[in-house]
Amino acid sequence: MALPLIEPAAAVVLTVAIKLGVLVTKWKSRAELQRFLKIHPFIRDDRSLAAFKQLARRNMRIALLLLGPLVLDMACIIVVVRAYGLAGLGMVLLVNIPVFWLSRSVGALEAQARSLSCEDAELLAEYTRVGKSWVKKASPDF
């Protein structure tokens, strides 16, 4: 059996550190989404559309920045589970519960931000385009 590239104890520390970083990032995103939704209950003018675009850009960039650490986290999880068996799996599940809960909360707020009402047809077309881009594309094109 080949030795892992990372020691199991270090993999535990690294996966917990990554999860803490993800939690902080998600918590900030959640707060920003809540603030946006409070200030902009609907898309009424160019200012609210610009704020929506800024929010979408920020969240898309954060998602891209988290890809690297999350790939590393997956590797660490494999090492932890292989080294510690069911106890390692339990630890992995335990540290993922808050991440899962917060991710669902952020996802619901993002969906709410993408489904605001807008009476101006021109603004609505751009708002809808940005919302679709937010979901379907890796990086902002607006």
Q: Residue-wise pLDDT tens for the chain (142 aa)?
A: 555 678 999 999 999 999 999 999 999 999 999 999 999 999 999 999 999 999 999 999 999 999 999 999 999 999 999 999 999 999 999 999 999 999 999 999 999 999 999 999 999 999 999 999 999 999 999 9
Residue 10 vs residues 46, 62, 95, 99, 134: alpha-carbon distances, Å: 49, 25, 15, 20, 35
Model-level pTM?
A: 0.90
**pLDDT on residue 5:** 79
Q: At 78, phi and psi to the nearest 5?
A: -60, -45
Structure-token match 């068996």, residue found: 85
Query: Residue 128 and residue 115: Cα distance in Å, rounded?
Result: 9
Q: What is the pLDDT of residue 3?
A: 54
User: What is the rounded distance in angstroms from the CA atom of residue 33 to the CA atom of residue 73?
Assistant: 26
